[in-house]
Amino acid sequence: MRPLFHPPIEAVRLEAVLHALSDPVRVAIFADIAGADCARTCSAFASVNDRQIPKSSLSQHFKVLREAGLIRSERQGVEMHNTARCAEMEGRFPGLVAAIVKAHEVEAAGRTEGIEGLAAK
């Protein structure tokens, strides 16, 4: 297994970041990792937004996030510890990650309201 590739922060491309986060499963994963105070494993996301994600797909999703420069993945025994590279990203593209994570929360909140609104009928 080739060692995981992490781009140096100055090589991070906006295009790759936006592409990585333009997938609903990946933003959800990233928002969770970015909001967590400790590293998260891949298998922690076997289900995202009440949907089962096959592990081959999960692996791909983590690869996309990693190669976009959004997360750092380190093997810790049998599992993988993933952390967000928020501080570095903030240096490269100020405000970007924060705005996206916030936007993701806005949308999630809107969805919950929708459900409540529906349930209230």
Residues binding a copy of itself (CB under 8 A): 10, 13-15, 17-19, 21-24, 27, 92-96, 98-100, 102-104, 106-107, 110
Which of 104-108's residues contact partners 24+ apart within 8 Å by CB, and which partners? Answer: 104/27, 104/28, 104/31, 105/31
Distance CA 10, CA 93 (A): 10
Which option in DNA, a copy of itself, none does residue 107 bind, with CB closer than 5 to 8 A by kind? a copy of itself
SS3 content of the chain, % helix, strand, coil (to 5): 60, 15, 25
SS3 42: helix
54 part of the interface to DNA, by CB under 7 A? yes
49 part of the interface to DNA, by CB under 7 A? no
According to CB under 7 A, which one of 12, 21, 29, 62 is a site residue for DNA?
62
Distance CA 71, CA 65 (A): 6
Shortest separation between residue 43's beta carbon and DNA, angstroms? 3
Which option in a copy of itself, DNA, none does residue 109 bind, with CB closer than 5 to 8 A by kind? none
Residues that bind DNA (CB under 7 A): 1-2, 4, 19, 23, 41-43, 53-63, 73, 75, 77-80
